[in-house]
Amino acid sequence: MTTVRDIAQLGAKVLRQKAEAVADVHDVEICQIIEAMHNTLATTQGVGIAAPQIGESKRIIIVASRPTPRYPSAPLMEPTVMINPRFEALSETQEKGWEGCLSIPGIRALVPRYQEITIYYTDRRGSSVSSKLSGFVARVFQHEVDHLEGKTYLDRVVDNTDIFSESEYVKLADNMH
């Protein structure tokens, strides 16, 4: 059964809750949530999704960077399920970059994020994984982890003039190429 869920939109209570840690990665409910996350993400041009975005307050994200019309220069990677993810910044330096969100359609913003991070998570088999991420994929990871903390990328915007409608962002992006 292919389950595709509605994506929670800004204002939905679940997007402002701190998500619960996953105790058993093999739990049937957890497996169903992960399947629904994969299926839902596949219907979008998104490059990641967090369980709260499909209405499940669990600490699960999928990072799935790929070139799309929304992110034409995104690197291609295998969609990766990350359970109970966390990270450490490898330097204090943050860089602004453009972000959007499936839960906040029609808006883009320049968001400061760490450029290099070490990530830690549990994979679907229950193994502990750690690796280093940088650039765009590090940004996606931090964006999705924010959802698990009840935050959206707009909470990280430093300057309100860094928030654009999608149509103005497209004009700006066209001028940058």
Q: List strands edge to edge, sheet with 116-122.
A: 48-50, 60-63, 80-89, 116-122, 128-134
Residue 144 bears catalytic tag: yes
Question: Would you put residue 140 in left (φ > 0), alpha (ψ -120 to 50) or beta?
Answer: alpha
Separation between Cα atoms, residue 157 and residue 163, nearest integer Å: 8
Give the type of residue at 167.
Answer: S
Catalytic choice (116, 144, 149, 166): 144
- CA 166/CA 97 separation, integer angstroms: 15
**147 annotated binding-site participant:** yes
Residue 38 labelled as part of a binding site: no
101 is in an annotated binding site: yes
Q: Annotated catalytic sites, by residue?
A: 144
Name the binding residues: 101, 143, 147
Binding residues for Fe cation: 101, 143, 147
